[in-house]
Amino acid sequence: MGRLHFKTVRELAELPGSNYLPEASTGVAAINSLIEGERAHVLESNAMDVLAERGRGRAMALVGHLPFIPPLRLLTKEL
Protein backbone atom coordinates (compact mmCIF):
# COMPACT_ATOMS: atom_id res chain seq x y z
CA MET A 1 0.00 0.00 0.00
CA GLY A 2 2.95 2.32 0.54
CA ARG A 3 3.46 2.99 -3.18
CA LEU A 4 -0.09 3.97 -4.20
CA HIS A 5 0.77 7.67 -4.21
CA PHE A 6 2.91 6.99 -7.29
CA LYS A 7 -0.06 5.61 -9.27
CA THR A 8 -2.22 7.64 -11.63
CA VAL A 9 -5.94 8.02 -10.99
CA ARG A 10 -6.55 5.68 -13.92
CA GLU A 11 -4.38 3.02 -12.24
CA LEU A 12 -6.10 3.56 -8.90
CA ALA A 13 -9.51 3.24 -10.57
CA GLU A 14 -8.62 -0.35 -11.48
CA LEU A 15 -8.12 -1.35 -7.84
CA PRO A 16 -11.75 -2.11 -6.90
CA GLY A 17 -11.21 -5.50 -8.55
CA SER A 18 -8.39 -6.33 -6.12
CA ASN A 19 -8.80 -9.24 -3.71
CA TYR A 20 -6.94 -7.17 -1.10
CA LEU A 21 -9.64 -5.15 0.68
CA PRO A 22 -7.55 -2.04 1.53
CA GLU A 23 -6.49 -1.80 -2.13
CA ALA A 24 -10.05 -2.31 -3.38
CA SER A 25 -11.45 0.35 -1.04
CA THR A 26 -8.72 2.78 -2.12
CA GLY A 27 -9.79 2.20 -5.71
CA VAL A 28 -13.42 2.94 -4.87
CA ALA A 29 -12.34 6.12 -3.07
CA ALA A 30 -10.34 7.18 -6.13
CA ILE A 31 -13.38 6.70 -8.36
CA ASN A 32 -15.62 8.59 -5.92
CA SER A 33 -13.18 11.49 -5.89
CA LEU A 34 -13.74 11.92 -9.63
CA ILE A 35 -17.54 12.13 -9.44
CA GLU A 36 -18.74 15.67 -9.87
CA GLY A 37 -21.71 16.61 -7.75
CA GLU A 38 -24.23 19.31 -8.45
CA ARG A 39 -22.95 22.48 -6.82
CA ALA A 40 -26.49 23.51 -5.91
CA HIS A 41 -26.67 20.57 -3.48
CA VAL A 42 -23.26 21.09 -1.87
CA LEU A 43 -23.11 22.51 1.63
CA GLU A 44 -19.99 23.57 3.47
CA SER A 45 -20.29 22.48 7.07
CA ASN A 46 -18.34 21.01 9.96
CA ALA A 47 -18.54 17.19 10.12
CA MET A 48 -18.63 17.17 13.92
CA ASP A 49 -21.60 19.54 13.95
CA VAL A 50 -23.54 17.44 11.43
CA LEU A 51 -22.81 14.16 13.22
CA ALA A 52 -23.65 15.65 16.61
CA GLU A 53 -26.97 16.97 15.33
CA ARG A 54 -27.99 13.75 13.60
CA GLY A 55 -26.52 11.34 16.14
CA ARG A 56 -27.55 12.94 19.43
CA GLY A 57 -29.03 10.20 21.60
CA ARG A 58 -28.82 7.62 18.81
CA ALA A 59 -26.57 4.67 18.00
CA MET A 60 -23.97 5.65 15.42
CA ALA A 61 -21.12 3.93 13.58
CA LEU A 62 -18.06 5.66 12.17
CA VAL A 63 -15.23 4.24 10.11
CA GLY A 64 -11.82 5.74 10.69
CA HIS A 65 -9.97 7.61 13.41
CA LEU A 66 -11.32 11.12 13.70
CA PRO A 67 -10.22 13.75 16.22
CA PHE A 68 -13.77 14.53 17.35
CA ILE A 69 -14.72 10.97 18.37
CA PRO A 70 -14.32 11.50 22.18
CA PRO A 71 -16.78 14.44 22.36
CA LEU A 72 -19.12 12.74 19.88
CA ARG A 73 -19.13 9.61 22.08
CA LEU A 74 -20.59 11.72 24.90
CA LEU A 75 -23.50 12.88 22.71
CA THR A 76 -24.51 9.56 21.18
CA LYS A 77 -26.30 6.64 22.76
CA GLU A 78 -23.68 4.29 21.33
CA LEU A 79 -20.68 4.93 19.08
Burial of 62 (0-12, 13-18, 19+ CB in 10 A): middle
Distance CA 13, CA 76 (A): 36
Question: Is pLDDT of 24 > 80?
Answer: yes
Rounded to two decimals, the pTM is 0.50
Instruction: Work out the average pLDDT over 24-37.
Output: 89
| Confidence bin at 4 (pLDDT 50/70/90) | confident
pLDDT in tens, 35-77: 887 777 777 889 899 999 999 999 999 988 889 999 999 999 9
Is the torsion defined by CA of 32, 25, 19, 3 positive or negative? positive
